[in-house]
Structure 1
């Protein structure tokens, strides 16, 4: 089994729970995921099956869209409702105009302080492990990119945002910082990842209902992990060479090539991701996704 699966992660499940459930259904097939979602969150979790797990770094590159709701006048150690929430006394009332006014500050490349209850690694271990033990945690600031923020709704002390961003962005932190810019605090009460690249929540499957047959039926070609990279169709003779990690030459007939390319077999299935060496006029496989048939037989 080889390909991708678009899953709608249920609330209260960890991303690991999804991997374990699907792994049980497709025994002896390696299963991984791209882009961890907190237990509170729902929505798109892209699952990689078989050697498609090698595509996780490429899936991280895809833009992500979230819809999140925040409650003003509240504060918590985790910046959401997963830890004890403190109600701020005499918290100022925030207007819709105030929210709209500060939103542009959080679009583009911004410096963000991730929550202490996060998967950010501190000395090789997730920050949340120390935080849960009550130990002090110093999470370093990081630069992230936010492509778009839209205020969808503001009623009373609740406001809802749609955010499109790059990898590593903490939505909890954005809500917290927007509230701070309005002179108060906020905690995230709900989060749904509605899109990763062109994987949408509307087309995602429910992992609670998934069995091996459903997984096979909803398997998505691995090329969808790298939608904007140029494809090259291999000849039948070149396929086994690429499967073995060997470089192949390219000619003028191939056209102008540079950077990364996808190498696909005559049926269109992804065999490898390669890099073009223009000086030597060679296509050099970097991530091989198919094992030669003779290796499969030996295994």
Structure 2
């Protein structure tokens, strides 16, 4: 009989909004936070490049089950860049691959081009990305000097506003959909201006529902940890805060029990069709469900209470 390996770490559930430092991969950040919280299970909600800073929600325990919804959420970035110089990676971490000493581009010309990049646009994902080809991340192929064709994809730039500009340096704020590559956005804007460009700094300000909320640095989390795990756990947001736009349903103990055992229940005719957050009689969040057109409320994902 094979021995089962005991899972190490605490069983905690929640989300921390980490202010990612520059120079670290998202996975390295995740592992450091997981160790700090002594968590048995953790995951992040979409990578930031090592150069980037800012909001990186980390999900612990059962909260990893809502991470996919945050992956799909729109994101807001503060972007700094420079025209006239391109790099292999599209950011300041890469080797310079091209220089253009063309004429200075004035602000009206830049503003006019930015207008063309608002709304639905098409991007070709960069070679230096985590997208995979035949099981290999593209960035690994790029490091070997191998370049492959990538299919264009449609993304949405919800907003794009110029914050400052003094040739060749610029800064803008953008809110964009899932799958948008900011490095590609900068290089495409530069190409539309007849030059090249790259990202010099990138900071993620917001993700989906997390607007105007405090982010925690590693320093602040380590200070909390010195006061004990209870103090550290107070930095965690509840799991359901990731889905504030989903309608909520409060059900009886009996219905809750049925749903937690994977059984559908008759839906109230007043309930709107679609996905819902589920709460028990004491207003405790316990899962996600779906109200179907056939008159049933079915469980989709259950959470510990």
| TM-score (normalizing by structure 2) | 0.89
Per the alignment, do residues 89 and 173 of structure 1 end up closer, same or farther by CA in structure 2, a change over 3 Å counting?
closer
Aligned match of 1:274? 289
> In the TM superposition, what are the counterparts of 1:117-128 in structure 2 within 5 Å?
117-128=128-139
Aligned match of 2:277? 262
Q: Distance in 1 between matches of 2:133 and 2:199?
A: 24
Cα displacement (A) at 1:28: 4.6
Per the alignment, do residues 75 and 168 of structure 1 end up closer, same or farther by CA in structure 2, a change over 3 Å counting?
same
Q: Distance in 2 between matches of 1:144 and 1:171?
A: 11
Aligned match of 1:220? 237
- Answer whether contact 1:193 1:201 (CA < 8 A) is retained: no
Per the alignment, do residues 202 and 249 of structure 1 end up closer, same or farther by CA in structure 2, a change over 3 Å counting?
closer
**Unaligned segments of structure 2, at least 5 residues:** 1-11
- Answer whether contact 1:44 1:201 (CA < 8 A) is retained: no
Q: Distance in 2 between matches of 1:83 and 1:189?
A: 10
Q: How many aligned residue pairs are there?
A: 288
- Answer whether contact 1:44 1:200 (CA < 8 A) is retained: no
Cα displacement (A) at 1:249: 1.8
Cα displacement (A) at 1:120: 1.6
Cα displacement (A) at 1:236: 2.0
Q: Distance in 2 between matches of 1:26 and 1:165?
A: 31
Q: What does the per-residue CA deviation read over 1:43-63, in whole Å, with 9 as the maximum and x for residues that have no partner?
A: 001111111101111112322
Q: What does the per-residue CA deviation read over 1:190-223, in whole Å, with 9 as the maximum and x for residues that have no partner?
A: 0000011232476110134423444411111111
Q: Distance in 1 between matches of 2:257 and 2:32?
A: 34
**Unaligned segments of structure 1, at least 5 residues:** 292-299
Q: Distance in 2 between matches of 1:268 and 1:114?
A: 44
- Answer whether contact 1:243 1:290 (CA < 8 A) is retained: no
- Answer whether contact 1:43 1:201 (CA < 8 A) is retained: no
> In the TM superposition, what are the counterparts of 1:157-172 in structure 2 within 5 Å?
157-172=168-183
Aligned match of 1:29? 40
- Backbone CA RMSD of aligned residues: 1.8
- Answer whether contact 2:158 2:177 (CA < 8 A) is retained: yes
Aligned match of 1:50? 61
Secondary structure of 2:128's aligned partner:
coil
Q: Distance in 2 between matches of 1:58 and 1:202?
A: 18
Q: What does the per-residue CA deviation read over 1:199-253, in whole Å, with 9 as the maximum and x for residues that have no partner?
A: 247611013442344441111111111111100012222223222222122224x
- Answer whether contact 1:120 1:139 (CA < 8 A) is retained: no
Q: Distance in 2 between matches of 1:28 and 1:262?
A: 25
Q: What does the per-residue CA deviation read over 1:135-185, in whole Å, with 9 as the maximum and x for residues that have no partner?
A: 223332111111010011101200111000111100111111111111100
| TM-score (normalizing by structure 1) | 0.91
Aligned match of 2:195? 184
Per the alignment, do residues 208 and 264 of structure 1 end up closer, same or farther by CA in structure 2, a change over 3 Å counting?
same
